[in-house]
Structures are given as C-alpha cells and as structure tokens.
Structure 1
Amino acid sequence: MSDRLIWFKSSYSDSEGGNCLEVGLTWRERPHTVHVRDSKLGPRSPRVAVTGGSWAAFLAYARRDA
C-alpha cells in the first residue's frame, strides 16, 4: 500500500483516545480502493483495504442503521 495516501479522520473520532478511525483514498475524486486504519497508531496501524463499491455499500448500511 502506498504511504502517500490522503488520510481523513472520522468525524466521530474524539480527542479522548476512543473511536479513532481514519480513511485513506488512493484516488480522491472517485476512489478505486479505500484504506481504513486506527488513527491512534498512525502509519504503524494495520490497514484494511476495500473497493470503492464495497465502501459505498458499507456507508449506506451504516447510515440506515444510525
């Protein structure tokens, strides 16, 4: 995975050390791959990579149950 990803911290992350999630995109306009990591560990964090379509499906599901 590229170290040049643009990482975005979740709007639900807090400054208390909990619920910290960052999402990194390989292509900002229409991502082909979305990378997810724990922001507390930063670059050392294990990453999960999913397709842009899978990420969109996850977000739709999460919004529905929010």
Structure 2
Amino acid sequence: MALVAIGDILAILFMEPKGSGLGAISGSATVFHSRKPKDALLDRLAVVLSIAFVVLSLALVVFKF
C-alpha cells in the first residue's frame, strides 16, 4: 500500500502544471493546448494508482489486516 501511495504522489508531482495561475487575471492564460504523451501517461497512471489506493484502503478497513 505504501508503494501505491508513493507511486501516486510521484505521478502527480511529475505532471506539468495545468492551471494558468495568475495569468488568468490579466488575460494571458492559455486554456486550449495539446497534451503531450508524457502528460497523458502520467494522468492515467495517477488515476489508476489513486483508485488502487482507495480500494486497498477499503480492503484494509473491511478485512482488518
């Protein structure tokens, strides 16, 4: 379970920032941009690891390992 949590954290940390930050205030935000293959892979990996973390957490609570 710790490996899943660490993998999820690393997948999220290696993603490129998606928000425009303070650039949205002045109008210099870029909303529409193409996703790089690395970002798509990290996004999918983060979702899968997050789901695995929730399932493992629930299994530990239900079965009291």
Bigger-Rg structure (1/2): 2
More helix by share: 2
1 or 2 for the larger relative contact order (CA 8 Å, sep ≥6)?
Answer: 2
